C-alpha cells in the first residue's frame, strides 16, 4: 500500500553568484540582489508568483510533517515572502503538530534579526551553507562569505538553539576541495565542532562537466586530493566525529542524538514528497518528476498545467511506484540498510523470483561481501561504516549492472 506524501520541498533558485562546483538550477542575481527596487527584487517577485500558482494547482494531500526550503539561497527572501509561502502550504495541506520546517541560509545574506524573523514565521530548523572556514579556500571555490561571517553565523544559530528558540541546526561542509589535504581538513572539521553544531552534512566534492571546476579539470588545472588521500580524509572524518558522539545515519549526514533531519530520513527511506519550483524534483507516489531548470521553461510548463491535465506523477491513480533498483539504492544509503527480499516482494516478486534474482545479486556483490564493505544480517543488507560507505558508488554500480541483467519485461 502506498503511503500518502507528508513532506514538501520548495526550491528558491536565487543566489548572488554561482559557486565553482555548482550545477544546481539557480538564478544568479549579482551583488546587488537585495537592492530595493532593483532587478533582483523584481525577479524574486515574479518567481514567487509562479511558485504560488504551482502550489495552488497541486493536488491536495494529508498534513505535512516536514517542509524544506532549499536552493539556491532561500535567505535572499524576506521574512514576509517566506511566511506567505508557508501560509500557502498550510492552506493547501495543513501541518502536523511538531512539523519540521527547515530553511537553508547563506552566511553572506542575513543578520541576527533576520534569523529571529524566520523563527517568528514558523521556521524551526536552519541549515547553514558554510562549505569551508578558510578564507583562501572559500575564495577558491567561488563563495561570497568569509570565515568571520561564517563563525558569526554559527554563533547566532547556536545561541538561538541554546535559548530554545531553534529546534536544531546543521552545517554543510565539503571535503576533498582543491588544495585541502588531510591536515587542513582536520582543522576545518575541528573548527566546525567548536561551533557546537548538532548536525553536519559533509559532502564529497563532485565535479560536474558544466561548471568552473569541470572546465578546469578538463584542462588539467584542478588540484584535488587523489583517491588515496580522499580515503584518508573520509576515514578521519568518520573516526573523529564518532569519537565525540556523532552518529552517521546516512552516507553524508552526521548528527548528535535527537538531531537527525526528519526530512533527510524521509527522502532516503523511499517515502514520497511534493516538490515545488524551478528545477524541483517530486515523487509523491514513487515515480520522480523534475521540473524545467530555467525560469522560462518553468513558466511555460506551469502555463501548460493550467490548460491540460496536471503532471501525471502527482496523481496516485496515474503514477507508478519508484523503480525497485532506485529504492534499493536509497535504502542502502541509510545506516539501517535495506531488507532486499521484503522490498522485492512489495513489488510483486514471488519467492522463487526472490531466491533466484537475489542470489544473482549476491554474485555481483560477492567481492564487497567478502571484504566486509557490504554486510548481511537476517536478509538485511548494510554498507559497513566507514569502509562500505567510502566505496558506495562501486557497490551501487554493481547493483545496477545486476538490475540490467534481469529479464523483467
- Indicate whether 19 pLDDT > 90: yes
Tell me the CA distances in angstroms from 81 to 74, 77, 117, 369, 379, one per residue in order. Answer: 10, 6, 11, 51, 48
CA distance 180 to 182: 7
In the chain, % helix, strand, coil (3-state, to 5) comes to 45, 20, 35
The residue assigned the cell 559557486 is: 19
Q: Return the C-alpha cell found at 395.
A: 557497490
CA distance 45 to 321: 35
Q: What are the residues whose beta carbons fall under 8 Å from the beta carbon of 113, sequence distance 6 or more? A: none
Distance between the two ends of the chain, CA-based, in angstroms? Answer: 23
pLDDT of residue 38: 58
Q: What is the pLDDT of residues 25-48, one digit of tens each?
A: 999 998 766 655 556 788 999 999
- What percentage of the chain exceeds 90 in pLDDT? 83
Tell me the CA distances in angstroms from 92 to 7, 55, 82, 111, 150, one per residue in order. Answer: 13, 7, 15, 31, 36
CA distance 45 to 293: 18
- SS3 of 363, please? helix
CB contact burial 164-199 (16+ within 10 A = b; e otherwise): eebbbbbbbbbbbbbebebebbeebbebbeebebbb
Q: Return the C-alpha cell found at 22.
A: 555548482
Q: Return the C-alpha cell found at 299.
A: 513558466
Q: What is the pLDDT of residues 89-111, one digit of tens each?
A: 999 999 999 999 999 999 999 99
CATH superfamily of 7-269: Aldolase class I (3.20.20.70)
pLDDT of residue 407: 77
DSSP code string of 138-184: HHHTT----HHHHHHHHHHHHHHHHTTS-SEEEEEEEES-TT--HHH
What is the average pLDDT across 12-23?
95
Nearest to 262 by CA among 52, 59, 95, 72: 95
Q: Return the C-alpha cell found at 27.
A: 538564478
Q: What is the pLDDT of residues 235-290, one digit of tens each?
A: 999 999 999 999 999 999 999 999 999 999 998 888 899 999 999 999 999 889 99
Q: What are the residues whose beta carbons fall under 8 Å from the beta carbon of 201, sequence distance 6 or more? A: 127, 170, 171, 172, 173, 252, 253, 254
Q: Is 36 exposed, middle or buried (0-12, 13-18, 19+ CB in 10 A)?
A: exposed
pTM above 0.85, yes or no: yes
In this structure, is the dihedral angle defined by the CA atoms of residues 391, 392, 393 and 399, taken in order, positive or negative?
positive
Q: What is the pLDDT of residues 281-322, one digit of tens each?
A: 999 998 899 999 999 999 999 999 888 767 888 888 777 888
- SS3 of 282, please? strand
pLDDT, averaged across the chain? 93
Q: What is the pLDDT of residues 206-226, one digit of tens each?
A: 999 999 999 999 999 999 988
CA distance 306 to 324: 32
Amino acid at each position: 500500500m502506498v503511503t500518502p506524501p507528508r513532506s514538501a520541498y520548495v526550491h528558491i533558485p536565487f543566489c548572488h553568484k554561482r559557486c565553482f562546483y555548482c550545477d544546481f538550477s539557480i538564478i544568479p542575481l549579482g551583488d546587488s540582489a537585495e537592492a530595493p527596487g532593483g532587478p533582483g527584487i523584481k525577479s524574486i517577485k515574479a518567481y514567487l508568483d509562479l511558485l504560488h500558482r504551482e502550489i495552488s494547482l497541486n493536488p491536495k494531500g494529508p498534513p505535512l510533517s516536514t517542509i524544506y526550503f532549499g536552493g539556491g539561497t532561500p535567505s535572499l527572501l524576506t521574512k514576509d515572502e517566506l511566511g506567505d509561502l508557508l501560509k500557502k502550504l498550510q492552506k493547501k495541506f495543513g501541518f502536523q503538530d511538531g512539523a519540521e520546517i527547515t530553511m537553508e541560509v547563506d552566511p553572506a545574506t542575513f543578520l541576527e534579526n533576520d534569523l529571529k524573523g524566520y523563527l517568528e514565521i514558523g521556521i524551526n530548523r536552519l541549515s547553514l551553507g558554510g562549505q569551508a572556514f578558510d578564507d583562501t579556500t572559500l575564495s577558491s571555490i567561488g563563495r561570497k562569505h568569509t570565515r568571520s561571517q561564517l563563525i558569526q553565523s554559527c554563533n547566532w544559530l547556536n545561541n538561538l538553539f541554546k535559548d530554545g528558540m531553534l529546534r536544531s541546526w546543521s552545517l554543510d561542509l565539503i571535503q576533498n576541495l582543491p588544495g585541502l589535504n588531510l591536515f587542513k581538513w582536520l582543522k576545518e572539521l575541528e573548527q566546525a565542532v567548536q561551533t557546537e553544531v548538532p548536525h553536519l552534512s559533509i559532502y564529497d566534492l563532485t565535479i560536474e562537466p558544466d561548471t568552473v571546476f569541470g572546465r578546469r579539470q578538463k584542462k588539467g588545472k584542478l588540484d584535488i586530493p587523489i583517491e588515496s588521500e580522499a580515503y584518508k580524509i573520509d576515514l578521519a572524518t568518520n573516526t573523529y566525529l564518532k569519537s565525540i558522539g556523532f552518529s552517521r545515519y546516512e552516507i553524508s549526514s552526521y548528527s548528535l542524538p535527537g538531531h537527525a533531519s526528519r526530512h533527510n530520513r524521509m527522502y532516503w527511506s523511499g517515502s514520497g514528497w511534493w516538490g515545488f519550483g524551478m528545477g524541483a524534483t517530486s515523487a509523491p507516489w514513487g515515480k520522480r518528476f523534475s521540473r524545467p531548470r530555467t525560469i522560462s521553461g518553468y513558466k511555460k510548463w506551469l502555463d501548460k498545467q493550467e490548460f491540460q491535465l496536471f503532471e501525471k506523477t502527482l496523481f496516485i491513480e496515474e503514477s507508478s511506484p519508484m523503480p525497485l533498483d532506485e529504492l534499493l539504492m536509497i535504502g542502502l544509503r541509510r545506516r539501517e540498510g535495506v531488507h532486499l527480499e521484503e522490498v522485492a516482494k512489495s513489488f510483486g516478486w514471488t519467492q522463487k523470483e526472490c531466491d533466484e534474482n537475489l542470489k544473482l545479486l549476491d554474485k555481483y556483490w560477492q567481492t564487497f561481501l567478502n571484504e566486509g564493505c557490504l554486510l548481511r544480517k537476517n536478509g538485511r543488507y548494510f554498507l559497513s561504516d566507514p569502509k562500505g560507505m567510502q566505496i558506495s558508488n562501486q557497490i551501487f554500480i554493481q547493483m545496477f549492472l545486476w538490475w540490467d541483467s534481469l529479464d523483467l519485461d
